[in-house]
Structure 1
Amino acid sequence: MFMPAIAISAAGSILDLFDLFEVPWTMLAASGLFLGAGSMWLALAAIKPAMRVRVVLEKTITRVLLLASLISILTTIGIVLSIVFEAVHFFRIVDFWDFLTGREWNPDAATVGPDGKVQPLFGSVPLFAGTFMITAIAMCVAIPVGLFSAICMSEYASLATRRVAKPALEILAGIPTVVYGFFAAITVSPFIVRMAEAVGLQADFTNALSPGLVMGIMIIPLVSSLSDDVISSVPQSLREGSLALGAYRSETIKRVILPAALPGIVSACLLAVSRAVGETMIVVMAAGLQPNLTWNPLVGMTTVNVRIVDALTGDQSFDSPETLAAFGLGLVLLVLTLGLNIISLTVIRKFRQRYE
């Protein structure tokens, strides 16, 4: 804006210096301001539409992203509050400590005592014990097989093998859980019963071993796919450096690649644990609904999720203790899951700081 005014002032000074033409300073100033304003108007006319579109677009994108974040946050808060409020109603009827430490779950036999409290037949220990038992069996199958298959796919398999094996794993991951449930109930459970009888053991048709094994098979593609992506993302320079120092391929995998990919592998395993804890259909069809507290995987037991579904889909009223017990179980499961996530994030952060 000031360049035209400066140019006109300089021209007037030169003319006045050489006595060529005497220009009043007021005219010079007015001319400079007029030309400067005109230049500014032309510049704004040229760039203002584009700038306006860009600013509006940036503001719109920012608001959309902020709205998406708020929706996620508010949804999470709403879910937590809905569980907490109903769980508070349940714990006004049932003692919280008896609920956590009780070893018997039998809502049909629960009676109200003189103090208005329900007798401790809502013990959640058998439900969480069954959940941990079936999840542990599933992880014993899914993590070793999935991790070894990921190492084989990323480090040893040829391109032709990957083209065949990768889609096969994806197909395995796309099978509905109800199909796995039928497989566990119709094929795996009778096989376990026959094998137990062959070695002199007694196994129930509905047992914890059958859904654990089938659930582990179901989770193998998840562990394998995520671990394969993590291992493949390790820089090639680390492999080449280890091999250049004379290490075998197996030593390179053990001492270089796996430590570098460990945070991602831990994340994959924890995601698999969450997937196993949240499974319901396979447990219903193969493990049964009986809340047994035992270390024997050959007998029937149930999980927290199955009991929640059973409580919310029954014929009892919504304000009955048996229905409200589902929210108490959900609250405890939410706290345990949150604690597991915090521990996993801490472990991943420590390993990442160690190997980066």
Structure 2
Amino acid sequence: MSLSLLIAIILVLAIVGFVLGRQRALASAGGESRDLHSLPVYYGSNVLLSVLVPALAFIIVALVATPIYIESHVSGMISEADVAEGSNRGLVMAEVRRVAEGLENAVAIGAIPDDLARDTAADPAAITQSLRDAGQVLTGDVTASILNAAQAYRASSDTLHVVLVVVAIVLALAGLAYGYLRTDKDFRARNVVEKVIKALLITAASVAILTTIGIILSLIFNTIEFFRIYPFTEFFFGLTWSPSFSGRGGLSELGILPLLWGTLYISFIALAVAVPIGLFAAVYLSEYASPKVRAIAKPALEVLAGIPTIVYGLFALLTIGPMLMAVFGRDGLGWMGGASSVMTAGLVMGIMLIPFVSSLSDDIINAVPQAMRDGSLGLGATKSETVKQVILPAALPGIVGAVLLAASRAIGETMIVVMGAGAAARLSLNPFEAMTTVTAKIVSQLTGDSDFSSPEALVAFALGMSLFVITLGMNFLALHIVQKYREQYD
């Protein structure tokens, strides 16, 4: 039984419970809803929640715990020879999962009989050929230990899936019976339902916090592991970025300074483009544009915020880069050696940030009380003088906060940098040279089947932690500026 069908069954039981609970409550009061402690809908909702909450909670916990249990159980079946050849048990487990998935798909389409797929004495070479004939992508030939582990993985998954289905349905039925039997006209259904809803709201609010904590902990642990095998002084003060996956990091130079320079340089150019244009657009839309123009121009400007960053990357690669080459390239001023450069990525990223700056600034400017405008105009100031000397100073703290938030967005951008700025890690003041950023190198270091015990792979977590600290600090600075210097108007 598929997971979607299981959830559908639970939802049907919950709806049936809602109807039965409501009817039982009315029947216990002789059909008079005025004799009930709560409204009839609360009695039905109580039974519905009694069905949904335990069943769905069990499904969520089982979906999280089942893969962990299976991998811990199957991991011991992998031979040391396979681990030595793959250089990492995690990579070998990924191959085991691929083989198990391939066996499942091959059995489903009839390429391999189910009894052969479960036969522990099956020929690994024949299974390998059958899986490839069925279209399964494998990194190499399937060995006997990997095949046995994949068969155990598949068998355990099937068994635990059956257990999940049975237990979830039993919990749903038990919840239906419990909620139905406790339904009575004197039962405080509203109090119970509101407590359950409050608990669900608290749980939902906790998801973001727990997710953030999980991300931070994963970064911290892997960063600590990286600094155990690579000196932190060379990482933070090194002037060269030259990873080499030969020799497990012995030949690598992993200095972060060239990457930080490229990140800040590109972000500075992007802000130099986005802040003036975005701020002027916000002033025009909030102070000068007519309602008809504003109704058209503001949504049109904010369309830029909905364009995927990969599209901006293609725009940088195919349009902005060649345009700059025509002016600053070999046929022009001779400053630019290729279409990929800091200027290319910075200009396109600045275009991407324009709606971000303009929208936030527009909201901040509109928040300035109309009485301040009227007072300035009443004293004889012109429209432009009112904007320059009254409105912008009043909105300045919020605008500064918006700029810092835009800077955080620019620092974390990846696709535009990958496609527009190049991949060279260098310290240079020339904006027409190719450079790279921290985010681009995080992607490159984790691309492919890397050995996650090597410095070249673990350095991605150190880079991510450094970037996280920088952007977090900028966000805190923006919030501090907004909260400390914002003027309160009555």
TM range (shorter): 0.7 to 0.9
Q: Which structure has the larger Rg over C-alpha atoms? A: 1
Q: Mapping of 1:31-46 within 5 angstroms? A: none
Distance 1:183-1:236 versus aligned 2 partners, 3 A rule? same
The residue number in structure 1 matching 2:328 is: 196
Task: Report the counterpart of residue 266 of structure 2 in structure 1.
Answer: 134
Alignment of 1:19-34 (within 5 A): none
Report deviation, 1:85: 0.6
2:208 to 63, 72, 80: 72
Amino acid at match of 2:215: I
Matched, 1:149 2:263: no
Distance (Å, rounded) in 2 between the aligned partners of 1:255 and 1:52:
61
Q: Give the TM-score taking structure 1 as reference length.
A: 0.80
2:81 counterpart of 1:92: no
C-alpha distance in structure 1 between counterparts of 2:489 and 2:247, whole Å: 57
Q: Does 1:60 align with 2:196?
A: yes
| CA displacement at 1:263 relative to structure 2 | 3.2
Q: Secondary structure at the match of 1:133?
A: helix
**How far does the alpha carbon of each residue in 1:234-293 deviate from its partner, in whole angstroms, 9 at most, with x for none?**
221111111111111112112222222233322322221122112111111111111111
Matching residue within 211, 215, 224 for 2:349: 215
CA distance in 1, matches of 2:194, 2:364: 34
Counterpart AA for 2:482:
I
Aligned partners of 1:217 and 1:239: how far apart in 2?
A: 31
Q: Quick one: which of 38, 56, 74 aligns to 1:49?
A: 38
Measured against aligned partners, the alpha-carbon deviations of 1:113-138 in whole angstroms (never above 9, x if no partner) come to xxxx9567100000011000111100
Contact 2:369/2:489 (<8 A) preserved: no
State whether structure 2 residue 296 is matched by structure 1 residue 179. Answer: no
Give the conservation status (yes or no) of the 8 Å contact 2:425–2:435: yes
Report if aligned partners of 1:230, 1:264 keep a CA contact under 8 Å in 2: yes
Deviation for aligned residue 1:52:
4.0
Change in CA separation of 1:314 and 1:293 when aligned onto 2, cut-off 3 Å:
farther
Quote the residue 2:421 is aligned against. 287
The answer as to whether partners of 1:98 and 1:120 remain within 8 angstroms in 2 is no
Q: Which runs of 5+ in 1 are unaligned?
A: 1-44
User: 1:96 and 1:243, CA in 2 relative to 1: closer, same or farther beyond 3 A?
Assistant: same
- 3-state DSSP class of the match of 1:269? helix
Change (3 A) 1:46 1:262: farther
- Relative to structure 1, the CA distance from residue 72 to residue 247 in structure 2 (aligned partners, 3 Å threshold; closer, same or farther) is same
Aligned to 1:262: 396
Equivalent-residue separation in structure 2 for 1:60 and 1:264 (angstroms): 39
Q: TM-score, normalised by structure 2?
A: 0.59
Question: CA–CA distance in 1 between the matches of 2:418 and 2:340?
Answer: 9
1:332 to 1:110, Cα distance in 2 relative to 1, 3 A: farther
Deviation at 1:220, TM superposition (A): 0.5
Q: CA deviation at 1:167?
A: 2.3
Range with greater deviation from structure 2 (94-103 or 270-279): 270-279
Q: Distance in 1 between matches of 2:381 and 2:192?
A: 57
Tell me, yes or no, if the aligned pair for 1:94 and 1:119 is still in contact at 8 Å: no
1:276 correspondence with 2:265: no
Is contact 2:405-2:474 (8 Å) kept?
Answer: no
Structure 2 alignment gaps of length 5 or more: 1-33, 40-186
**Bigger mean CA offset, 315-324 vs 146-155:** 315-324
Helix, strand or coil at the partner of 1:296 = coil
Q: CA deviation at 1:65?
A: 2.7
Change (3 A) 1:52 1:80: same
Specify the code of the residue in structure 2 equivalent to 1:265.
Answer: I
CA 1:281–1:241 in 2, change beyond 3 Å: closer, same or farther?
same
What count of residue pairs does the alignment treat as equivalent? 308
Alpha-carbon separation, structure 2, partners of 1:110 and 1:133: 31
Where does residue 476 of structure 2 map in the other structure? 342
Q: Among 165, 168, 171, which residue is 2:300 paired with?
A: 168
Report the Cα offset of residue 201 of structure 1.
2.7
Letter in 1 for 2:386: T
Tell me what 1:248 maps to. 382
* RMSD (Å) for aligned C-alpha atoms: 2.3
- Identity of aligned pairs, percent? 52
Once the two structures are TM-superposed, the CA of residue 230 in structure 1 deviates from its matched residue by 1.8
Equivalent residue, structure 2, for 1:319 = 453
Structure with more relative contact order (C-alpha pairs < 8 Å, separation 6 or more): 1
- Post-superposition CA distance 1:6-27 (Å, at most 9, x none): xxxxxxxxxxxxxxxxxxxxxx
Structure 2 CA distance, aligned partners of 1:353 and 1:243? 21
Structure 1 pair 110/151, CA: closer, same or farther in 2 (3 Å)? farther
Q: How far off is 1:299 after superposition? A: 0.5
Deviation by residue 1:89-141 (Cα, 9 ceiling, x = unmatched) = 110111112100101010118867xxxx9567100000011000111100000
Report how far residue 312 of structure 1 moved: 0.7
Q: Give the residue type in structure 2 aligned to 1:135.
A: S
The CA deviation string for residues 201-245 of structure 1, in whole angstroms up to 9 with x for no partner, is 344322110010011001111111121122122221111111111
* Offset at residue 53 of structure 1 (A): 5.0
